[in-house]
């Protein structure tokens, strides 16, 4: 596993010690005196990347006392063609590694993109905030040389199948409630290091990225008649922590690394520019089938409340065996903080909570510890507003741009959902086919082996 | 008299934390024509601010143009590229020949000479070339930059964006009246 320290850094040559990053860090992991360069305490950092987003201490191109830009780019794992300014807080990138892999004729290159990337990528090319461009994104990935453009949204639908059934099982057995979502790797890191005694409350489901990854190298390899050893599986994420997630030792249930490398939204944009692709004028292209097919439920995973809403659309029907009366559950669509709701599903009063921003998680966790927590199901996303505001998303020049962008991205994601013909994960025909042909049933033997994981207490062990 | 004075932006060093947001936002609003949009990824040219964060042992604050009434930069400009315009002193960046006299004349160091960019690309001089080990190379045009009080953008962007509210747009006539009123209030409370 790569060390966390290696993935998130503050360039002490550029840091002015304004400590705005320390204000947004949910773990108080940024240490240093005011007006002096800051350091990230890797024992505490969960790699959310909010410091990367807020940092405004840029490297002046005209300051000759600084380490040359070319050296800084190399240190940061960035392509040498990147023109944008460099800032003190940064995450180490992997675009060089992906570029090299894409040039190889030996490898079969497969890619997936998180739900939040398709509503932000175009901003890096001057499009209005939150422009929804899944078609251009798929076209760009193909022109970069990926052999299969699959989708994390498919994995999100798969996650709902497993997580929904897991929730119903836990409720039926009255065991390990409340259940927390487990899609957000920074949240999982946080739970592992801060609340190891509550790890059995986390859903055992892998994240959509890792579920997609393991399916690509098993079922995907089979349908494409490809040797999984030759598959290079890349993921494009709005997140600076997903790279860490894919290197976790246990994420190799396909027999190989389930996901080999992760790029952030920003890195994908840089790679597209590096290749000279005219993004603005790309045609809309479709994702490859079957592992690129997704429902509206998969699409809304990228925003706070989205995983909850997607889960409820399926859980309602699992519990009642009847069609849900409504699809759009506005009462779980929240902003920042904690949002709670009660959903009636037949006889059951399902109590749910949505936590947006990791700073808000401690209160609920303390309640769980004290046995005071009355919820059945709790969604936690580390970044305020969810993945649409992730640490790997386009960074803004002005603070007020960011708020507006997050609002637009959110509207865009729900708009995308509302226009899709299939809105529920369990109605995705390619998910149904995956179970018929390969997995068997949700929570079954094969699912257990490939799609579920275990967590490790790691207090002070990073 | 004060009604005709130029406005200017001034920073409070006690509030400034040195984050450089002012420099970034200054660059952003002046480069909309350089295809700089709202995200960092759209920036293809180097960041050129028109105010400069200065750091000393005990302080940090941005320094920028005071829009002097008898502007030494304008008085020294040999080609008349620096003008008084609507309560501000502005440089015509297209006329500027990069002679640097204004840089020497400014008592605040508020003017810098840096490469000119258009549509994200450096502007190349028509004839002047530069000797290098690979022979004659094109030479980038260098021009004088300074604060123009965001002439095309309404209120100065640095004032609005500063997360510490450390910057103030001073409109001398209003500032004078405010101080008069404050003095009267102080006097009154001293008498009572």
Residues A417 and A322 in one domain: yes
The alpha-carbon gap from B46 to the nearest alpha carbon of chain A, in Å, equals: 6
Reduced to 3 states (helix: H, G, I; strand: E, B; else coil), residue B51 is coil
Query: pLDDT digit string (tens) for A98-110?
Result: 999 999 999 999 9
Residues of A within 8 A of B32 (CB-CB) are: none
In a domain, A101, yes or no: no
Query: pLDDT digit string (tens) for A384-431?
Result: 999 999 999 999 987 778 889 999 999 999 999 999 999 999 999 999
In a domain, B107, yes or no: yes
* Catalytic entry in A182, A203, A233, A295: A203
Residues A266 and A169 in one domain: yes
Residues A87 and A164 in one domain: no
Q: Are A123 and A394 in contact (CB under 8 A)?
A: yes
Q: Are A236 and A208 in contact (CB under 8 A)?
A: no
In a domain, A268, yes or no: yes
Query: pLDDT digit string (tens) for A264-294?
Result: 999 999 999 999 999 999 999 999 999 999 9
CA distance A84 to B38: 12
Question: Hey, which residues 31-50 in chain B have their CB within 8 Å of chain A?
Answer: 35-47
Domain boundary among A73, A92, A111: A92
Q: Which residues contact A152 (CB under 8 A, 6 or more apart)?
A: A112, A113, A114, A115, A208, A209, A212, A235, A237, A301
A84:B60 CB<8 A: no
In a domain, B1, yes or no: no
Instruction: Kindly tell me if the per-residue pLDDT of B89 is higher than 70.
Output: yes
* Catalytic entry in A166, A192, A309, A379: A166
B18:A17 CB<8 A: yes
DSSP state of B189: H
The rounded Cα B165 to chain-centroid distance in angstroms is: 18
| Containing structural domain, residue A70 | 1-92
Write b or e for each residue in B163-178: b if 16 or more Cβ atoms lie within 10 A of its Cβ, otherwise e. Answer: bbebbbbebbeeeeee
* Catalytic entry in A15, A25, A45, A183: A183
Q: What is the pLDDT of residue A461?
A: 54
Nearest-10 Cα torsion for A374, A375, A379, A381? -20
In a domain, A106, yes or no: no
Query: pLDDT digit string (tens) for A113-149?
Result: 999 999 999 999 999 999 999 999 999 999 999 999 9
Backbone dihedral angles phi then psi of residue A39, each to the nearest 5 degrees: -130, 150
Instruction: Kindly tell me if the per-residue pLDDT of A2 is higher than 70.
Output: no
Instruction: Kindly tell me if the per-residue pLDDT of B125 is higher than 80.
Output: yes
Task: Please provide the average confidence, as pLDDT, over all residues in chain A.
Answer: 94
| Containing structural domain, residue B107 | 8-191
A123:B38 CB<8 A: yes
In a domain, B2, yes or no: no
A163 has catalytic annotation: yes
B43:A83 CB<8 A: yes
Whichever domain contains A387, its CATH number is 3.40.950.10
A387 has catalytic annotation: yes
In a domain, A188, yes or no: yes
In a domain, B17, yes or no: yes
- B53 in contact with A, Cβ within 8 Å: yes
In a domain, B3, yes or no: no
DSSP state of B123: P
Please report, rounded to a whole number, the percentage of residues in chain B having pLDDT higher than 90: 73
Where is B81: in which H helix or E strand? none
Residues A288 and A154 in one domain: yes
Domain boundary among A92, A113, A136: A92
The alpha-carbon gap from A87 to the nearest alpha carbon of chain B, in Å, equals: 10
Residues A87 and A199 in one domain: no
Residues A281 and A405 in one domain: yes
Q: Which residues contact A303 (CB under 8 A, 6 or more apart)?
A: A116, A333, A385, A386, A387, A388, A409, A410, A413, A414
Residues A70 and A211 in one domain: no
| CA dihedral sign, ordered A299, A214, A98, A92 | positive
Q: Which residues contact B96 (CB under 8 A, 6 or more apart)?
A: B79, B81, B143, B144
Q: Write the burial class of residue B120 (CB in 10 Å: 0-12 exposed, 13-18 middle, 19+ buried).
A: middle
Instruction: Kindly tell me if the per-residue pLDDT of B15 is higher than 70.
Output: yes
In a domain, B132, yes or no: yes
Q: What is the pLDDT of residue A145?
A: 97
Whichever domain contains A77, its CATH number is 3.30.70.20
In a domain, A120, yes or no: no
Residues A423 and A300 in one domain: yes
Q: What is the pLDDT of residue B86?
A: 87
Least confident of A67-76, A209-218, B113-122: B113-122
The ipTM is: 0.91
Residues A306 and A382 in one domain: yes
pLDDT tier at B3, thresholds 50, 70, 90: low
Q: What is the pLDDT of residue A401?
A: 86
Number of domains in chain B: 1
Instruction: Kindly tell me if the per-residue pLDDT of B33 is higher than 80.
Output: no
Q: Pairing between strand B89-91 and B135-140?
A: unpaired
Q: Which residues contact B106 (CB under 8 A, 6 or more apart)?
A: B65, B72, B73, B146
Q: What is the pLDDT of residue A331?
A: 76
Q: What is the pLDDT of residue A3?
A: 65
- Preceding peptide of B25 cis, ω within 30°: no
Domain boundary among A70, A92, A114: A92
Q: Which of A18, A85, A129 sits opposite B18 (nearest CB)?
A: A18
Q: Are A381 and A387 in contact (CB under 8 A)?
A: yes
Reduced to 3 states (helix: H, G, I; strand: E, B; else coil), residue B58 is coil
The alpha-carbon gap from B5 to the nearest alpha carbon of chain A, in Å, equals: 30
In a domain, A125, yes or no: no
With CA atoms as reference, the chain B residue closest to A394 would be B39
In a domain, A137, yes or no: no
Q: What mean pLDDT is predicted for residues B138-153? A: 92
Q: What is the pLDDT of residue A1?
A: 54
Dmax over CA atoms of chain A, in Å, equals: 70
Nearest-10 Cα torsion for A114, A119, A120, A123? 150
In a domain, A428, yes or no: yes
Number of domains in chain A: 2
- Preceding peptide of A178 cis, ω within 30°: yes
């Amino acid at each position: 596993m790569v060390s966390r320290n290696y993935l998130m850094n503050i360039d002490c040559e550029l840091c002015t010690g304004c400590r705005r990053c320390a204000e947004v860090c949910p773990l108080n992991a940024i240490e240093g005196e005011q007006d002096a360069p800051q350091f990230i305490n890797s024992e505490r950092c969960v790699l959310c990347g909010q410091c990367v987003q807020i940092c405004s201490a840029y490297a002046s191109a005209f300051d000759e006392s600084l380490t040359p830009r070319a050296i800084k780019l190399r240190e940061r794992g960035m392509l040498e063609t990147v023109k944008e300014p460099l800032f003190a807080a940064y995450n180490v990138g992997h675009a060089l590694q992906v570029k090299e892999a894409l040039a190889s004729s030996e490898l079969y290159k497969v890619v997936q993109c998180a739900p939040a990337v398709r509503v932000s990528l175009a901003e890096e090319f001057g499009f209005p905030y939150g422009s929804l461009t899944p078609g251009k994104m798929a076209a760009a990935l193909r022109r970069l040389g990926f052999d299969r453009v699959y989708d994390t949204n498919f994995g999100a639908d798969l996650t709902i199948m497993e997580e929904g059934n897991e929730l119903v099982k836990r409720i039926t057995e009255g065991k390990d409630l409340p259940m927390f979502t487990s899609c957000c790797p920074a949240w999982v890191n946080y739970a592992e290091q801060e609340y190891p005694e509550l790890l059995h409350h986390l859903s055992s489901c892998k994240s959509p990225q890792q579920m997609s990854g393991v399916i690509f190298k098993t079922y995907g390899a089979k349908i494409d008649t490809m040797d999984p050893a030759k598959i290079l599986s890349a993921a494009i994420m709005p997140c600076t922590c997903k790279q860490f997630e894919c290197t976790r030792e246990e994420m190799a249930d396909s027999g190989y690394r389930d996901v080999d490398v992760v790029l952030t939204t920003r890195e994908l944009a840089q790679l597209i520019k590096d290749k000279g692709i005219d993004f603005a004028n790309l045609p809309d292209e479709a994702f490859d089938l079957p592992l690129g097919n997704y429902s509206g439920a998969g699409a809304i995973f990228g925003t706070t409340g989205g995983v909850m809403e997607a889960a409820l659309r399926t859980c309602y029907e699992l519990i009642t065996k009847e069609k849900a009366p409504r699809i759009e559950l506005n009462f779980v669509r929240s902003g920042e903080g904690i949002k709670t709701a009660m959903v009636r599903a037949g006889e059951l009063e399902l109590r749910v909570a949505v936590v947006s921003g990791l700073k808000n998680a401690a209160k609920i966790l303390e309640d769980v510890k004290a046995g005071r927590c009355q919820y059945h199901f709790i969604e936690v996303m580390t970044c305020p507003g969810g993945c649409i505001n992730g640490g790997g998303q386009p960074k803004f020049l002005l603070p007020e741009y960011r708020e507006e962008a997050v609002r637009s991205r959110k509207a865009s994601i729900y708009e995308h959902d509302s226009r899709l013909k299939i809105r529920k994960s369990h109605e995705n025909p390619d998910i149904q086919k995956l179970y018929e042909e390969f997995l068997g049933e949700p929570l079954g033997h094969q699912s257990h082996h490939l799609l579920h994981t275990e967590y490790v207490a790691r207090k002070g062990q990073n | 008299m004060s009604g005709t004075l130029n406005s200017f932006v001034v920073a409070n060093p006690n509030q400034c934390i040195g984050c450089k947001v002012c420099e970034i936002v200054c660059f952003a609003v002046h480069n909309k024509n350089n295809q700089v949009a709202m995200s960092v990824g759209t920036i293809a040219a180097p960041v050129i601010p028109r105010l400069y964060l200065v750091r000393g042992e005990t302080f940090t604050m941005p320094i920028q143009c005071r829009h002097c009434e008898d502007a030494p930069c304008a008085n020294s400009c040999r080609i008349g590229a620096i003008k008084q315009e609507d309560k501000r002193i502005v440089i015509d960046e297209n006329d500027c020949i990069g002679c640097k006299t204004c840089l020497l004349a400014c008592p605040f160091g508020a003017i810098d000479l840096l490469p000119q960019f258009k549509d994200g690309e450096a502007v190349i001089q028509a004839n002047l070339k530069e000797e290098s080990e690979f022979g004659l190379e094109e030479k980038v045009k260098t021009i004088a930059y300074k604060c123009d009080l965001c002439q095309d953008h309404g209120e100065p962007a640095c004032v609005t964006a500063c997360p510490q509210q450390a910057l103030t747009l001073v409109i001398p006539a209003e500032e004078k009246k405010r101080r008069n009123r404050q003095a009267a209030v102080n006097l009154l409370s001293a008498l009572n």
